[in-house]
Amino acid sequence: MAENLQYSAERTTVSDLGREMLAQGLTKGTGGNVSQLCADGETVAINPSGVPYEDVTPERVPLVTLDGEQVAGDLDASSETPMHTMILRRRDDIGGVVHTHSPYASTFASLAEPIPASHYLIAFAGDQVPVAGYEKPGSEDLGELAAETMGTDYDACLLQNHGTLAVGETAEEAFEVSMMVEYCARIHYQAISVGDPVILPDEEVDRLRSVFESYGQH
C-alpha cells in the first residue's frame, strides 16, 4: 500500500512532477529528471532511468543516498543521479532539483548564451540564467560544473548543449523556477527577434528576488 511506502510523500512528489514536466512541455520522452531530498536529510527520491513518466508511480521511484548509492526501488535511478546528488551536497539551502530539456532555454544553452533580465521573472533564478560549460551527461563533473556556476547566487543555470538545471527548497519550488526560466527564455528569444530588449538593472532584480522570497501563501 502507498501509505506504507518509505518516504511516500517525497516519492509521490517526484512521480507527480515528472508527469507535470512532460505536460508543460519542459521535456520530451523520458528526458529530464526530478529529485527531492527526504525528511531524514540523507536520502533522495529521484525518478527512474528511461521509464515513461506516465508509468512512474510513487512505488517505482528509487531512493538513493547523497553519495548516489541506491537503497530502495526495483528500477535503476536516473542516469543524472550524480548531478543531482552533487548539487544537493553542495547546497545546504536546497532540497529539490529539476533538470529539463525545455526548448527555448535549451536553445540558449546550445548557443552558450546566458538569459539576461529582459523580463522581471528572471528574478526567480537570479539576475540572469548563467551558462555552465559542457560536460558529459550523467557525470559528476557535470554536477560539479553546474554547482560552481550557480554558487549561492543563482537558483538555475543552463547546461551547455544540453538543457537547464533548477533548484529550490523543495522540488515543487525548483519546478517553478524551471517554468520561469523557460518563460523568460521564450520572451527573450522573441524580443531579440524583433529588436533590442531593455535589460533590468541588477539592483532591481535584487529587489525583486527579495520580494519573491516572501511571495505567495506558505
**Catalytic site residues?**
80
The residue length of the chain stands at 218
Half-sphere exposure in the Cβ direction for 185 (13 Å, CA): 30
Coil/strand/helix, residue 73? coil
Q: Is beta strand 70-72 parallel, antiparallel or unpaired with respect to 131-132?
A: unpaired
Phi, psi of 144, deg, nearest 5: -60, -45
Q: What is the DSSP letter of 58?
A: G
DSSP notation for 95-142: -EEEEE--HHHHHHHHHT--B-SSSGGGGGT-SSB-EE----TT-HHH
Half-sphere exposure in the Cβ direction for 48 (13 Å, CA): 20
Residue 99 makes CB contacts below 8 A (sequence gap 6+) with 32, 33, 34, 80, 83, 84, 159, 163, 164, 165, 166
